[in-house]
Structure 1
Amino acid sequence: MSPQKQGYLYVLITMCIWGGFTLTARLSANWGISAWDLTALRFLLAFIILMPILIYKKDTAFLWKKEPFILAMLGGVIYCLSAYSAFHYAPAAHAAIFLNGCIPLCTAVAAYVLFQQAFDRHTWISLSIMLLSIGAMSWMMYLQTGQAFGFGDLLFFISAIWWGIFTVLLRQWKLSAWHAMSGVAIWSALVYVPIYLLFLPKHLNEPDPVHLISQVLFHGIFVVIIATLTYVEAIKRLGAFKTGSIVTLAPFIAAMIAVPVLNEPLSGAIVCGLIGMGIGALQPWRWLMHQDSLQQSLEQKKNQSSLD
Structure 2
Amino acid sequence: MMPARYQGYAFVAITMCIWGGFTISSRLSALWHISPWDITALRFLLAFCILMPILIYKKDTAFLWKKEPFILAMLGGVAYCLTCYSAFHYVPAAHAAIFLNGCLPLCTAIAAFVLFKQPFDKHIWASLAIMLCSILAMSYLMYQATGVAFSLGDGLFFISAIWWGIFTVLLKQWKLSAWHAMAGVAIWSAIVYVPLYLLFFPKHLNEPTIQHLAIQTMFHGIFVVIVATLTYVEAIKRLGAFKAGSIVTLAPFIAAIIAVPLLGEPLSLAIVCGLIGMGIGALQPWRWLRKDSLEKQLTAQKKQSI
Shorter-chain TM-score: what band? over 0.9
Distance between the aligned counterparts of 2:35 and 2:13, measured in 1? 29
Cα deviation for residue 237 of structure 1 reads 1.1
Distance between the aligned counterparts of 2:236 and 2:268, measured in 1? 35
TM-score when normalising by structure 2: 0.95
Q: Within 5 A, what are the aligned runs for 1:47-196?
A: 47-196=48-197
Cα deviation for residue 5 of structure 1 reads 1.3
C-alpha RMSD of the superposition: 2.1
Cα deviation for residue 240 of structure 1 reads 1.1
CA offsets 1:114-158 (integer angstroms, 9 cap, x no match) = 111110001100111011101110011001111000010010001
Q: Which runs of 4+ in 1 moved over 2 A?
A: 291-304
Q: Structure 1 300/173 Cα, relative in aligned 2: closer, same or farther at 3 Å? A: closer
Aligned pair 1:253/2:251, yes or no? no
Cα deviation for residue 300 of structure 1 reads 9.5
Q: Structure 1 107/292 Cα, relative in aligned 2: closer, same or farther at 3 Å? A: closer
Q: Structure 1 146/240 Cα, relative in aligned 2: closer, same or farther at 3 Å? A: same
Q: Structure 1 293/175 Cα, relative in aligned 2: closer, same or farther at 3 Å? A: closer
Aligned to 1:232: 233
Task: Provide the secondary structure at the position in 2 that maps to 1:94.
Answer: helix
Task: Provide the secondary structure at the position in 1 that maps to 2:108.
Answer: helix
Aligned to 1:45: 46
Which has the larger Rg?
Answer: 1
Cα deviation for residue 241 of structure 1 reads 1.3
Cα deviation for residue 292 of structure 1 reads 9.9
Cα deviation for residue 269 of structure 1 reads 0.4
Cα deviation for residue 6 of structure 1 reads 1.1
Distance between the aligned counterparts of 2:298 and 2:149, measured in 1? 49
Aligned to 1:25: 26
Gaps spanning 5+ residues in structure 1: where?
none
The number of equivalent residue pairs is 304
Distance between the aligned counterparts of 2:201 and 2:114, measured in 1? 33
Query: Counterpart of 1:179 in structure 2: which amino acid?
Result: H
Q: Within 5 A, what are the aligned runs for 1:229-308?
A: 229-288=230-289, 290-291=290-291
Contact 2:240 2:293 in 1 (8 A): no
CA offsets 1:79-98 (integer angstroms, 9 cap, x no match) = 00000000000100000000
TM-score when normalising by structure 1: 0.95
Q: Structure 1 67/264 Cα, relative in aligned 2: closer, same or farther at 3 Å? A: same
Query: Counterpart of 2:57 in structure 1: which amino acid?
Result: Y
Query: Counterpart of 1:137 in structure 2: which amino acid?
Result: M
Gaps spanning 5+ residues in structure 2: where?
none
Cα deviation for residue 171 of structure 1 reads 0.8
Distance between the aligned counterparts of 1:231 and 1:63, measured in 2? 22
Identity level (%): 78
Query: Counterpart of 1:124 in structure 2: which amino acid?
Result: W
